[in-house]
Structures are given as C-alpha cells and as structure tokens.
Structure 1
Amino acid sequence: MQQLKCCILIPTYNNAGTLARVLDGVLAVTKNNVVVNDGATDATMEILANYPLVHQIHLPNNKGKGNALKIGFQEALKLGYDFAITIDSDGQHFPEDIPVFLEALQQEETKNVLYIGSRNMKQHDVPGSSSFGNKFSNFWFWFETGTWLSDTQCGYRLYPLREIEKLTLYTPKFEFEIEVIVKAAWSGTLVKNIPVKISYDEAERVSHFRKGPDFARISVLNTVFVFVTLFYIKPRDFFRKIKKKGVAKFLSENILGSKDSPRKKALSIALGLFIGLSPFWGLHTLLVLGLAFLFKLNKPIAFAFSNISLPPFIPFVLYLSVQTGVWITGEENFFNPENIMDNLVALKGLKTYLIGSFAFATLVSILSGLIGYFTLTQMDKRKIAVKNG
C-alpha cells in the first residue's frame, strides 16, 4: 500500500449494521483508509467515533454514492495517494481480497489501469435482478468501449486517481460507477476485471439501490453514451488509428490483412459505400455500425468506406446523385453549386435527388462490392500459391 501510494476508500450511508466489521477487516490489512459518510441518519456517526485514526469526511446531506466517491477521490489526492481501492460498507466485499488488486497492479505493465472486481454471479445467494442488471451493463460497456468485461457493476475497484482527476464527471448516484469506467476507457485507461469473493447475506446487508429510479438513470446514461460512441468516439478512434498507422499500413493491416473471407469483406465494402452515399446525412455512422453488427460484417471496413461522404467529397456526391436522378426521372437539372442546398431545403428537386441518391448508392456499392470480391479472391489465391511454393 505504501509503495504504490494506495488507500482504501469507503463510501457509507446507513450501513451501521456492517460498517464496524468492514472497518475492522480493512484495518487488519492497512492503515491507509478514507471513509466518506454520505449524510447517514443511523448510528454511523457513533460507530466512526470509535475509529479516530481513520481519516473521515462527514457530509451534511446524502447526495449519492457517486458524489461521495468524487469527494473521496479528491481527498485521497490531497493526502498524496495515487490509487484508491473502493470497498462498499454493506459487508458484501471481503477485505482480504485487497492484496489481489495490489498484486495485479504490481505485475501490470501500465499503471494507467482501472480494476473492477469480478463476482461469481452464478453463486446461489446472488439475486436474479443483480445478475440481469450486470449482463445488461456488460453489454452496453462493450458496445461503448469495445471491451468485454464479466462484471461492470461491482463496487470493489481500484482507481488510478491521477487519471480519474482528468475526467469530467457529472453523475451523483449509482450511475457514476458506469460513467467513470466508460469515460476512463475512452480516455485510454485500461479497464480490467479482477476475481473477488462476494457475500449477499440478506439478513444483514442493506442496499440503497432503487431498482426503478436508479436503473432508469443508468439506462438514460447508456442511451447518451451510445450516441456519443457512434457520433464521436468511433469516428475519433478510427481517424486516430489511421493517423497513427498511416493510410497504407491501415489498409494493409485492418482491411486487406483481416482474416475475414473475401465475400464478407466485399459485402462490408458495399454496405459502407451504400450508407456513405445515401441521403441519411447525420446518421451514417449509426447506420453503418448498426447494420454491420446486425449482419455480422467487418465493422472497420464498413465504417472506413462509409466515410466517402467526408466534407471535401460532399459536393461531388451531391452532384453525381442529382445527375443520376435527372437521368432516371428526366426532370430538369437544378444543380448549381451555389444554390443546391437551398433548392433541396425548399423541396425543389428533392424527389430527383432522393431517387438519384439511392440509385447512385446502389450502383456504386454493387460495382465496388463485385470488384472488391474479385480482387480479394485473387489476392487470397496468390497468397495460397506463394505459401504452397
């Protein structure tokens, strides 16, 4: 604990029945402890009075676990700690698992890591609602970050305080524990699971999680994060990857070097171009990633080719779409670089544009898909021939 500058952070609210046992267990492991009393109205104050050597913060009003954790993080940083292991005061976590986090951190290559305790959700005393909620949360964390975890809701965690300090965190209640791990992952922090023991003794455990309101708050947060993921994080990561590798290396490794079949790659190219050329402006990222996921296609390839509608190419896409529409409908060509958007907004020639856009997108996607399939098939055959001598 001293070497890694790590403390134990215990947020507590009306857990008088288990608080003393948790504190005694933690003190048997380390003296580096910070307790945040989140406006408790039971005997919490009297219990904490018996632990004068434990660093304590007493909040006048209960504002939620997230708020208590943020205040605890700030206090731990002031005390000179770099890491904080959070443990709940309801008795479900075992203090003897603290060394598990420390040993993992010592062996980790990077210290920019956030560990989440991984509970055995199949043990007999785990409530069904907790198991379902955890699966629900795990799926959305994977969708938002690309990292699959077995447990995203456990409060037994190790936080890298210097990295968490850089994040802008808003939520005050239980949804904070989702917000912080998603934003940490987005900022480059490695988020991993560490196996821990768990106890759900309903005779003594008091949970303040309100299934209706708190689950609704988490759902709203995940809805916001999905939109941020699709419209900012995924495009940002895509362009960062290209910038880091270079266009040639990116194409070679992520597209040509993919182990998917030529058919799957070709369909991914076709999907990306169709969506990129379609008139669904503002929804291209959402549509291409959603459809690629639905049809089990190559998401990097589909997303890469959907970016044919980048700003520098938009005038050409509009022009070719309108020209295709004029050719199909025989209507007047209203294209003028100076007033095309005004005409579209005014619905003049909108039908021509929409027809032309879908037709042009379909034509380009089919031709490109066929060319891609033929080219990729020939490349695979050459690789096999070279491999066989």
Structure 2
Amino acid sequence: MMLSDTKRLFEEKKICVIIPTYNNQNTVRRVIDGILLYTKNIIVVNDGSTDSTKDFLKIYPQIDIISLPENKGKGNALQIAFKRAEEKGFLQAITIDSDGQHYPDDLPVFVEALSNEDVLLIGNRNMTQDGIPKNSSFGNRFSNFWFWFETGIKLEDTQSGYRLYPLKSIPKKYYTPKFEFEIEVIVRTAWNDVPVRNVPIKVLYDPEERVSHFRPFRDFTRISILNTILVAIKLLYIVPRDFIRNFRKKSFKRFIQEDILESDGSNKTKALSVALGVFIGLSPVWGFQTLLVISLSVFFKLNKVLAFIASNVSLPPLIPIIIFISLSVGAPFVDGNSDIFGEEMNIELVKNHALQYLIGSIILAFSGSAIAGLSTFLFLNKMNPDSK
C-alpha cells in the first residue's frame, strides 16, 4: 500500500493511533515520529511518568496528549484514550506500545486488513523467532490457550499490544485497569460476536532500550484470576446464552439437522457426547453439572451442544424421580434399614441414606450413560451412516 493511500484511509475510515506510555523516554519520540509519517491522529496518554517523557511530549503540539498525575496501569490509560477517541469522532483506534518493540511502518498492515465489518485485529509478533525472551514466549502460549478456551478462537498471538480496536463494538465498561485489561477486552469483544484476528507484524526486543513494566508474579497472578473468572462466565453464562440464541434463530427441525445431526464430529463422537452429558446429569454433582459437562467436552474434544442438552436429563421436574431410582438401586449395597418406600421423598431422606444414594446414583449414571450413548450411536448410524 502506498503511503498516500494509507494517509487517505486513516481519514476516510476515521482511524486514530493511541500510545500509552510510562517512563519510556528513550523510545517514545521514535515511535511518535514514525507514526507522524502516516497520520496526525495521535492520542498519547502519559500515565504518570516520572522520567523526562513529559518534556519530550511538549515538542508535539499537533497531537492530543493526556497527562495523568499518577500511574494507574496500562488498562486504565487505554480506557481513557478510547473515550477521548470516541469523543473526537474516531471509529477505529490502533494501539501501539511506546517501548520501541513495535514498528510504525506496520500501520498499513492494520489499515489494509480492515473490511466493511467490525473486526478486532491483533499484531502477530511470531514469538518463535530468535531473540524473543523465553518468558514472553511462554506467557503468550499460556494466554493463547485460555483465549481459545474462553472464545473458541485460535490465535497465534494474544498478548501483543499492537492492535486495532473497533471503538463502537468493544465493551464500554471494564473491570481491570492494568496489563490484564488487554485480555479482558479481546475476550469480551469476541463474546459480542466481533471477529478477532491476527495480522503479521515485526517486533524488536532491544534490552538496551526496552523498559518493561510487567511484574511477573503480581501481574501473572492478576491474569490468572481474570482467566478463572472469564472461564466461569463462559461456562455458566456465555455457553447457555449462545445455545438459546442459536436455538431461537432456527426452527426446531433445522436446529436438530444443522447443529446436532450435521455438526462436526463422527457418529461415535456425538454418541460419546450424549453419554457424557447423561452421566454428568445423573451424577451427584448438583450445581456443577454445566461447568463439568462443558469443561469435559472441551477437554475430550466432544460435541458441547449435544453434551449440554443430554446433561439436562436432570431437569427439576425429574429430580425426585432420579433421587428415588438412585436410592432404590443403591439399597442392596448398604447394610441396615434401606427401605425408603414408606418415607416421604425430601432432602432429609437423602441425608439419612447418603451412602445408599451415592452408590445408587453412580450406578444409575454409568448405566444411563451407556444406554443413552449406545442408543444415540445406533440412531445416528441409521440416519447418517456415512459419518461412522
């Protein structure tokens, strides 16, 4: 893409560049000078720098500079910049780190990758190349895995700060102010059905110039806590929400045909998914069934939709029946008074016969799972014999 074309698209597509900076006096000028070759639509957030950054920024009256009195974290700085960008009428914002690792001449890569649909683009730094610190490479692989688990989207780089954000499509409120913000924003944007993609960029790790403010233990702990929360939201809210949305968009017949009978996986995989769902649904793990069935479906690469549907074998109206059958099945395996037919069916009954219920429910779960899985396999083979 020609330089003139990039400049024109910056204006036509209302793109700005955001630079959060904290004590990067050795590199911030080079970054700004490189960006000015392409656009003057620059917002710099000086996040409470204590070095000479503030003095360097005074030589750029043509750009928007936000000076914060104290350092409150990269996430906080980006959120302030996003708000300012929207107030100024920008629709897209490219963020670039001020530590010199990103090349301003990669800006056209982001601009050229824009399409008519909203998309969040993340620069792929190719963390396998020589010169990349091992801790950065490991952290990126760790982040990639959890992003995939939380969104179903596979990326090669989820930690790069060189990104393009569609300002109208990202969340307006956030819960994290520091480094972990960059994980929260891409996960929650993906949950809003906005595509998240990688674009190739260059990267420079110069130990003599680069100043990293990442605190390994503290920030890694914060990121781990965030991922734990995001996984819980994914399993308890996003998966059921998407399931209901998909079901509502289609007729029942079309839903069964497209999402179950013709979904990815062989008949064996689908049958195992049903078996898993029934097993979890009948097991004595009340309150954790959705979390378990989705987690195990992902771990064993089974059909999450089928497993989730099958786990609902324990819908509230059926719970008394399941408890009664479990107690009945478990009766022969315990000593003493195991006769439950003359007692009222309630939670006290389960407490008084806990071992009997536990044994019976496990037997019921295994047998119900085997019957459901085998029946599903035979049914699917008859309906779709080519998918064995």
How do 1:249-288 and structure 2 match up within 5 A?
Answer: 249-288=254-293
Counterpart Cα distance in 1 of 2:85 and 2:98: 18
Does residue 176 of structure 2 align to residue 171 of structure 1?
A: yes
Cα RMSD after superposing both structures: 2.0
Does residue 200 of structure 2 align to residue 205 of structure 1?
A: no
Counterpart Cα distance in 2 of 1:142 and 1:288: 17
Native 8 Å contact 2:16 2:85 kept in 1: yes
Native 8 Å contact 1:331 1:352 kept in 2: no
Aligned to 1:181: 186
**Amino acid of the structure 1 residue aligned with 2:375:** I
Aligned counterpart for 1:159 among listed residues 158, 165, 172: 165
**Amino acid of the structure 2 residue aligned with 1:248:** K
Aligned counterpart for 1:23 among listed residues 15, 18, 32: 32
Does residue 324 of structure 2 align to residue 331 of structure 1?
A: no
Does residue 238 of structure 2 align to residue 233 of structure 1?
A: yes
Q: What CA deviation, in whole Å up to 9, does each residue of 1:262-315 have, x standing for no partner?
A: 322222211111111111011112222233334333332222211222334434
Aligned counterpart for 1:370 among listed residues 358, 367, 374: 374
Q: How far has the Cα of 1:109 moved from its partner?
A: 4.1
**Amino acid of the structure 2 residue aligned with 1:9:** I
Q: What CA deviation, in whole Å up to 9, does each residue of 1:138-161 have, x standing for no partner?
A: 000000011111100000011111
Q: Which deviates further from its counterpart, 225-234 or 310-319?
A: 310-319
Counterpart Cα distance in 2 of 1:334 and 1:350: 17
Q: TM-score, normalised by structure 2?
A: 0.91
Aligned counterpart for 1:321 among listed residues 307, 322, 326: 326
SS of residue matched to 1:297: coil
Q: Which deviates further from its counterpart, 48-57 or 309-318?
A: 309-318
Counterpart Cα distance in 2 of 1:67 and 1:286: 32
Aligned to 2:5: none
Q: How far has the Cα of 1:53 moved from its partner?
A: 1.1
How do 1:120-139 and structure 2 match up within 5 A?
Answer: 120-139=126-145
Counterpart Cα distance in 1 of 2:176 and 2:145: 20
**Amino acid of the structure 2 residue aligned with 1:331:** D
Counterpart Cα distance in 1 of 2:360 and 2:249: 37
Aligned to 2:4: none
How do 1:60-75 and structure 2 match up within 5 A?
Answer: 60-75=69-84
Aligned counterpart for 2:121 among listed residues 94, 101, 115: 115
**Amino acid of the structure 1 residue aligned with 2:362:** F
SS of residue matched to 1:9: strand
In the comparison of the two structures, how many residue pairs are matched? 375
Counterpart Cα distance in 2 of 1:293 and 1:8: 38
Q: What CA deviation, in whole Å up to 9, does each residue of 1:42-61 have, x standing for no partner?
A: 00111011111111100000
- Cα–Cα, structure 1 residues 310 and 2, in superposed 2: closer, same or farther, change >3 Å? farther
Q: How far has the Cα of 1:23 moved from its partner?
A: 0.7
- Cα–Cα, structure 1 residues 318 and 242, in superposed 2: closer, same or farther, change >3 Å? farther
Native 8 Å contact 2:126 2:156 kept in 1: no
Counterpart Cα distance in 1 of 2:208 and 2:264: 53
SS of residue matched to 2:17: strand
SS of residue matched to 2:287: coil
Q: Which runs of 4+ in 1 moved over 3 A?
A: 293-296, 310-330, 334-337
Native 8 Å contact 1:255 1:301 kept in 2: yes
SS of residue matched to 1:293: helix
Aligned to 2:3: none
Native 8 Å contact 1:145 1:185 kept in 2: yes
**Amino acid of the structure 2 residue aligned with 1:115:** L
Native 8 Å contact 2:150 2:234 kept in 1: yes
Please list every run of 5 or more consecutive structure 1 residues that lacks an aligned counterpart in the other structure: 385-389
Native 8 Å contact 1:319 1:335 kept in 2: no
- Cα–Cα, structure 1 residues 68 and 270, in superposed 2: closer, same or farther, change >3 Å? same
Counterpart Cα distance in 2 of 1:266 and 1:361: 15
Q: How far has the Cα of 1:323 moved from its partner?
A: 4.2
Q: TM-score, normalised by structure 1?
A: 0.91
- Cα–Cα, structure 1 residues 247 and 325, in superposed 2: closer, same or farther, change >3 Å? farther
Aligned to 2:347: 341
Native 8 Å contact 2:327 2:340 kept in 1: no
SS of residue matched to 2:127: coil
Native 8 Å contact 2:264 2:303 kept in 1: no
Q: How far has the Cα of 1:327 moved from its partner?
A: 7.1
Native 8 Å contact 2:126 2:157 kept in 1: no
Aligned counterpart for 1:149 among listed residues 149, 155, 166: 155
Q: How far has the Cα of 1:336 moved from its partner?
A: 4.0
How do 1:279-318 and structure 2 match up within 5 A?
Answer: 279-318=284-323
